[in-house]
Amino acid sequence: MAVIVLFAYLRLGSNRSIAPITVFDWVVDVALGSTLAGIVNGNSLVRGLLALSTLLGFQYFTSTISTRFQRFSWLFQGPPLVIAFRGKMLTIVMIKHRISPVDVNAALRQKGVLNICQVECALIEPNGSISVFTTKELEDANVHPDVLMVVPAYKALCEYEDEARPGEAADTTKTDEEKAESTRANNNRGSSDQNFIAMQAS
């Protein structure tokens, strides 16, 4: 009976019901399997059906609220977490969220990236997966990166870097002394940059 009820719900409902879009969805999927197994192994059918109804109903409620009232979506899922930006791992953010360089390097290998300097942005999605975008991909696409600019942390980091280093790449008239002074200034600014990045990316 429980199997029939669950099958009917999944068949008549949206594919969204079993899509692990958020961590909460993943937890619900695991809980559904555990509840169904308990019923099959002889637990109370009534209690099992009540548990299934509660899980499925709560998932439907949260996904509906997140979709139709986006101002409340932050209650059920956080924004993507930026962990690497323009060739650098954001170590402060990674330490805060207990992410090791080994985890990031594994994601880079899966993407076929050989060096962190190739990375435009790496972020952890709400479902826990790591997405990696390379600088070459953005250049080859030759379009505005809308899917990245909707991530608040990435947008803030881009704006900050553009304001902090205006025309730096285009200036080729500096003497060696001026370049050295600029390098020292950039190094001194590194601490405040890291604090800003940690605040925005997390």
pLDDT tens, residue by residue, 110-169: 999 999 999 999 999 887 889 999 999 999 998 999 999 989 899 999 888 887 765 554
The full set of domain ranges for the chain reads 2-75, 81-167+183-201
C-alpha span between 34 and 17 (Å, rounded) = 16
The answer on pLDDT for 98 being more than 80 is yes
Task: Using the Cα atoms of residue 118, residue 138, residue 133 and residue 76 in order, give the sign of their dihedral.
Answer: positive
Give the number of other CB atoms < 10 A from CB of residue 62: 19
pLDDT (0 to 100) of residue 172? 47
pLDDT (0 to 100) of residue 10? 66
Class of domain 81-167+183-201: alpha beta
- pLDDT over 90 percentage in the chain: 30
Average pLDDT, the chain: 78
Residue type, 106: A
pLDDT (0 to 100) of residue 99? 92
C-alpha span between 51 and 41 (Å, rounded) = 15
Full-model pTM:
0.65
The answer on pLDDT for 170 being more than 50 is no
CB contact at 8 A, 146 and 154? no
CB contact at 8 A, 128 and 120? no
Q: State both tokens at 168.
A: 């730096």
The answer on pLDDT for 21 being more than 60 is yes
pLDDT (0 to 100) of residue 176? 56
pLDDT (0 to 100) of residue 180? 54
pLDDT (0 to 100) of residue 202? 53
pLDDT (0 to 100) of residue 196? 54
CB contact at 8 A, 55 and 18? no
Pairing of strands 88-89, 81-85: antiparallel
pLDDT tens, residue by residue, 26-47: 777 788 778 878 877 777 778 8
* Residue scoring higher pLDDT (142 or 196): 142
Name the least confident of 9-18, 109-118, 146-155, 172-181: 172-181
